[in-house]
Structure 1
Amino acid sequence: MGDHFKTDTDQLGQFLRALEGCVRDLNEARTALAHVRADQIGTARLDEACDGFQDRWKYGAEQTKEMVEAVSEGVKSNKKAYEEVEDALQKAFKDMAEQATSGQGGAK
C-alpha cells in the first residue's frame, strides 16, 4: 500500500502559493469594484441592480476568501507534518547507517 502513496512537499508549496494568489486576486477585485458607485453608471434601475450585485459580490467574495484561507491552513499543516516525517526518517536512516559502519550494528 505504501508504494503507491507519495507526497511531494514542493507541489504542496506551489498549491499554497496558488491559494494565496487567489485570496490576493479576490481582494484586488473587491477593492476595484468598491470604487465604482452605482450612481455613476446610469439609470436608476441599473444603479439599483449594480448596488445589489456589489452586495452579493462582497458577501460571496468574503465567504470564498474564508474558505480558501481555511484550505490553505490545512495544506500548510499537512506540508509541515510531511516535512517533519521526512526529516525524522532521514535522520533515522543516517543514524542506522552510521551505526552499521561503526561496527555497532545495533548489537549489544
Structure 2
Amino acid sequence: MTPGDRMTRANNALKDLAPSDMGSDEINESAGEFQDRWEHGIEKIIEFSTSLTDGLRKARDLYVEIDGGAASALGQMASELSGGGGQSGDSDITRRLEGKA
C-alpha cells in the first residue's frame, strides 16, 4: 500500500463516520469540514509523491544506462591498452542500484 493509498483510506474512514461515532453533531460537523478542506491537500500530496517517485525512477534508470555505457567504454579501453585483458560488464554501482550486489 502506497502512502497515497493510506492517506486516502484515512480520509475515507473519517468521511464514512456517523454523527454518533464522533460523539456529537458539533464534532461531526467539524470533522466533515476538516475532511473537506484537507481532501484537496491530500490529492496534491499524492500527485507530488507519485511525480517524485516517477522522477527518481527515471533518474535511476538514466544513471544505470550512463554508468553501464561508461563501464563498457572504460572496459574496452582497458582491454585495448592491455592487449585484451580488460574488464567489461556492470559496475559495482550499477549492480547495487539494480539490487544485484
Q: Report which stretch shifted further, 84-93 or 23-32.
A: 23-32
Find the residue that maps to 1:89 and give its secondary structure.
Answer: helix
2:52 to 32, 50, 71: 71
**Using a 3 Å threshold, how does the CA distance of structure 1 residues 44 and 31 change in structure 2: closer, same or farther?**
closer
| Pairs within 5 Å for 1:20-35 | 22-35=3-16
Gaps spanning 5+ residues in structure 1: where?
Answer: 1-19, 104-108
Gaps of 5+ in 2: 85-101
User: Which of 22, 27, 47 pairs up with 1:46?
Assistant: 27
Which of these residues, 62, 67, 76, is aligned with residue 43 of structure 2?
Answer: 62
Give me the TM-score of the superposition, normalised by structure 1: 0.62
Q: Compare relative contact order (CA 8 Å, sep 6+) and give the higher one, 1 or 2.
A: 1
Count, aligned residues: 84
Can you list the C-alpha shifts for 1:33-88, whole angstroms capped at 9, x where unaligned?
Answer: 34433452122222211111122232221111101111111111111111111100
Distance in 1 separating the partners of 2:60 and 2:19: 44
- Whether the 8 Å CA contact 2:15–2:32 is kept in 1: the answer is no
Distance 1:86 1:96 in 2: 15
Which 4+ runs in 1 deviate beyond 6 A? none
The corresponding residue for 2:67 is: 86
C-alpha contact 2:7 2:42 (8 A) present in aligned 1: yes
Q: CA offset at residue 101 of structure 1?
A: 2.1
Aligned match for 1:36, one of 9, 13, 17:
17
| Cα RMSD (Å) | 2.3
